[in-house]
Amino acid sequence: MKCYTPPVYKGISPCKPYDIKDMVLSSEEIEYVIKQLSKECCLSVTTLREEACEILEEMSHKLRLGAIRFFAFVLSKIFKQIFSKVCVNEEGIQKLQLAIQEHPVVLLPSHRSYIDFLMLSFLLYSYDLPVPVIAAGVDFLGMRMIGELLRMSGAFFMRRTFGGNKLYWAVFSEYVKTMLRNGYAPVEFFLEGTRSRSAKTLTPKFGLLSIVMEPFFKREVFDTYLVPISISYDKILEESLYAYELLGVPKPKESTSGLLKARKVLSENFGSIHVYFGDPLSLRSLAAGRMNRNPYNLVPRYIPQRQSEDMHAFVAEVAYKIQLQQIENLVLSPWALVVAVLLQNLPSMDFDALIEKTLWLKGVAQAFGGFVLWPDNKPAEEVIQSSLLLHSNLASLVRDQVVLHTESQDSDVVNGLLFRHITLLMCSAYRNQLLNVFLRPSLVAVALQKTPGFRKEHVFSCFRFLRDVFLDEFIFLPGNTLRDFEEGCYLLCKSEAIQMAGKDILITDRGDAVLGFLVRLFRPFVECYQIICKYLLHEEKEYFTEKQYLAAVRKFTSQLLDQGASQCYDVLSSDVQKNALTAFVRLGVVEKKKVNDCYIFRVHESAATRLEEMLGCKTPIGKPATAKL
């Protein structure tokens, strides 16, 4: 049996899981909140204390070494069966080992699969590091035996929404802060809040990040380390499930029976996993010269304080910085390049042409700073054939032609959905991985296409408009528009696609190919938002709910695709539809208001018309930007 002796935080007070619960229930903050709620709700302190105990009982982990050993043994067998290898940057492991001994540590992985948290716990155990306590959705408790095994392996459970329950929020936040202050174990959670179905990084949720920062700002710990972790997959375990969910099929409820039914994946090959541990970020260093901790000293620590605007902005800034680091360290597999080329050459492509175009794209991705994992000791033909074999459910080589499987041999309709749409959305998820690297140069390319004359200030004005429209679709650091534009231009100059000539941008001979590819890569998102604008202008109801919107926009877009009026299948994705609605509310195209605990929406027709025309280049995109270029 493996000897497991992980390093511990130098300030740790040895304790058991039940000691943590006792500390929470006896904390001054919980005492204060219970007394306040007793006055507000006319409930006895005893009743509220009992409720707090029940919340804590549902929530808390029961970390046990025996369960961890068992889980590690089972996972090692499963991972060896379905993955060819797991690659880890050991330099990052060494830095994490030192960080864990110095200050409390928060692990912040990207989230693409349920495998993420299992793999991280397995790796930390294998490298003799403390197994983390992990924030998991309360849905997992519905899985008999598995839920309790997860609890004994370090999972603590949180409800998806707190519904304004002040006691639940107080107990949950105090539980997390107690584990952090004590240095009990690294705390792990996903900034995205849920798995990304589209392989694009989701905009961050700030609640848990605010909680883990609080002990530092209240001077209860000297520092806290935030560790960004990037997890990349050659093939995503849930790829087909995600496509169904994006097409409107409800997410299956987590259950033990569902897990057993899914055991057929044990006979499949999912390629490699790449786990990159980023450098630990010191919260103390991030806050230095940026945030003043003194306001936290003006009231007793146990009194909950409303978060200031400055603090909210700081939390958001840190969240986006961490996500940008996650994105920077994600690995691009050959398949991401191959499928991006195939989607621009439907329905099929000559194999030799695919090799040539993929190698060209590999060079562009590397010039843009992409972390491309390409076996140097193998010929390109073999690398691409291996990719096609790994993803044989999506594409195949037939008589020197590479064909995407957009038609089923049995039926064009699968579970009420078009087989073509399922395949194309699965492919688009892998293509989206490229946008992590290509986003800023792609926006510059689209801005150049929409700007006559190529004056730098006009191109920047268009870039700023596009960035603002797609703020909810991609990850941008707040207040960083000019720097994003400069980065996009720099990368295009580096790849010799453009040249800067005073106040003008010049496209080189090589630039047409690069810019054309980037425009086609980003075009689906522009077209999606245009189509949704058109739907909103056809919407007959004065007010509608999000559920009604999703059903109606799916019907509207399906009709466009069936009639051949559009080839933009990405618009069928519920992720894009929801992000577009959020963006339109932010941009004033749609009004959102709360009526009887339900949000309803109303379209501003003039604003929707103007946005649709601006996206379609029918209306100029406004005055040149005044930023110093």
pLDDT digit string, tens, across residues 490-543: 999 999 999 998 889 999 998 999 999 999 999 999 999 999 999 999 888 889
Low-confidence winner among 316-320, 342-346, 609-613, 617-621 (lowest mean pLDDT): 617-621
Residue 168, C-beta contacts closer than 8 angstroms, at least 6 positions apart: 55, 159, 162
Residue 301, C-beta contacts closer than 8 angstroms, at least 6 positions apart: 28, 29, 218, 220
Q: What does the alpha-carbon distance between residue 421 and residue 247 come to, in Å, rounded to a whole number?
A: 8
The predicted model scores a pTM of 0.94
Give the three-class secondary structure for 599.
strand
pLDDT for position 624: 47
Give 175-198 pLDDT, tens digit per residue: 999 999 988 899 999 999 999 999
For 337-352, the DSSP string reads HHHHHHHTS-SEEEHH
Determine the average pLDDT of the residues in 583-607. 93
pLDDT for position 416: 53
pLDDT for position 627: 44
pLDDT for position 442: 97
pLDDT for position 256: 61
pLDDT at 411 over 70: no
Give 301-354 pLDDT, tens digit per residue: 888 888 889 999 999 999 999 999 999 999 999 999 999 999 999 889 999 999
Scanning 545-604, the segments in alpha helix (DSSP H) are 546-563, 574-586
Q: Is 18 exposed, middle or buried (0-12, 13-18, 19+ CB in 10 A)?
A: exposed
